[in-house]
Amino acid sequence: MTPEKTFYLETFGCQMNAHDSEKVIGTLRERGYRQVESEEEAGLILYNTCSIRDKAEQKVFHRLNDYKRLHKEGKRFGVLGCVAQQEGENIFARAPHVSLVSGSASYRKLPEMLARLEAGETRITGLDDRQTEETFETEFTARQNPYRGYITIIEGCDKFCSYCVVPYTRGKERSRSSSSVLEEARRIAGLGYTEIQLLGQNVNSYRDPEGKCSFAELLAAVGQVPGIRRVRFTTSHPRDFTRDIVEAIDAVPTLCDHVHLPVQSGSARVLKMMAREYTPEWYLERIGWIKAARRTISISTDIIVGFPGETEDDFMQTMELLAEVEYDCVFAFKYSARPNTPALVMIDSVPDVEKSNRLQVLLDRQREIQRVNYSKHLGQILEVMIEGQNPARGQISGRSSQNKPVNFTCSQPIAPAPGSYVQVRITATGPNSLTGVAV
């Protein structure tokens, strides 16, 4: 009998990585592999990696070191994703027990690489340069999320922010046709999904190869697919954020009232060093469009503190912007140098202890802003899509259209299933979540 082919896959990083893993899993299953729950059970051990921050990258190499003993048992290892593209064949030197190294733009070659692996090859690479035109689409996507269907509409990045490694690991921007996106949206709806999330490193930089749809028009079209109740999108870039995106959210009820618009800094000087190619004034104009919408649209952002050369005054300008926008959520990080990026040659002039201090000051202020923002929901009835349960607290958890976490109790003897929708009256609020009762 042919030995059973098994695999274990661990994913690090963003939602795009998570969705890439769904496609990888689908491809592996199509080739007769069965997914297992641990490295010890698997014949093929894969890590789909992220290189946005140093900690994510180091975690992968720690994992490879922790389980290298399994190589003696005949198990094979593969590194996929951004670290694979960034490090290339250097991974074989750092972790000699690795047999497969493949960047995300090369996943379309995965069936061929798996065949070579099965034939006994021990040094297989799938790496593309920045100029690749390929995208990774497969009819074998094994969707792992029980309530949200992901669709990548654009891959790669042409922005070249000075701190960011993505343009070098994900390749240039290349969009899928609107026809293929809508076909996948209809297929997802047919599987019973009611929420779709459109993905891209810069999702609103989408350019339809068919010339049929702008990003805003594609958003609206996906929102009108029968059976779909919610459409989200991430991540937007301020340079390509247009007023018609807000108009689409106002016009199409299924488009969620939430926009994630990374600012990174409130200082024009730092933004210029970051090569973001917009000013705080440009950014705030777009925030003004969002706040002028008929619907109340929640706004979240990303911020980097301690970028090389950031002064105390630069940081205070970021704090002023934070207070002006009044975000509902902020993902804030200390700057860390990444390989191959222009910022690598800049003098990292902000001591780590000062970075940590600035980060804590920002997070403390943001917590108070969120406390006020969330308190405005007290007494409101919100539609919540269920994501899971917290048995210890006797609560059901989910999210509102504004992407705010909601924990609530329900008197029904059988809890509603993930992906279903419940009207919840908000009875208590905190800085990070809402609490309520199903009505």
204-233: pLDDT as tens digits: 999 999 999 999 999 999 999 999 999 999
Once rounded to an integer, what is the mean pLDDT over residues 284-296?
Answer: 98
Judge whether 5-126 and 381-438 match in fold: no
* Other residues' Cβ atoms within 10 Å of the Cβ of residue 339: 14
| The pLDDT of residue 383 | 98
pLDDT confidence band for 53 (50 / 70 / 90): confident
Per-residue pLDDT band for 271 (boundaries 50, 70, 90) equals very high
DSSP notation for 221-232: HHHTSTT--EEE
pLDDT recorded at residue 117: 94
Residue 139: the pLDDT is 65
Contact predicate 76/33, CB 8 Å: no
pLDDT, mean of residues 106-129: 90
Say what percent of the chain tops pLDDT 90: 83
**Would the pLDDT of 165 be above 70?**
yes
Find the mean pLDDT for residues 324-348.
94
For residue 415, what pLDDT is reported?
A: 80
Q: What pLDDT, on a 0 to 100 scale, did the predictor assign at position 178?
A: 97
| Beta carbons of 429 and 374 less than 8 angstroms apart | yes
Nearest CA-CA partner of 153 in 188, 204, 199: 199
Domain spanning 5-126 has what CATH number? Answer: 3.40.50.12160
Half-sphere exposure of 115 (CA within 13 A, CB side): 5
For residue 138, the model assigns a pLDDT of 67
pLDDT of residue 367: 98
* Model confidence at 113: pLDDT above 80: yes
For 353, other C-beta atoms within 10 Å of its C-beta total 8
Phi, psi for residue 183 in degrees, rounded to 5: -65, -40
Of 51-60, 250-259, 387-396, the range with the lowest mean pLDDT is 51-60
Q: What is the pLDDT of residue 2?
A: 55
Residue 284, SS3? helix
Is residue 337 scored above 70 in pLDDT? yes
Q: What is the pLDDT of residues 302-317, one digit of tens each?
A: 999 999 999 999 999 9
Q: Token pair for residue 293? A: 């919408």
Q: Tell me if the domain spanning 381-438 has CATH number 3.40.50.2300.
A: no
Looking at every residue in the chain, the average pLDDT score rounds to: 94
Residue 26 CB coordination number (10 Å)? 17
Domain boundaries, the chain: 5-126, 381-438
Q: Label residue 355 by pLDDT band (50, 70, 90).
A: very high
Degrees, nearest 5: CA angle 170-199-129: 15
The residue among 185, 257, 234, 182 whose CA lies nearest residue 212 is 182
- How deeply is 282 buried, as exposed, middle or buried, from its count of CB atoms within 10 A (0-12, 13-18, 19+)? middle
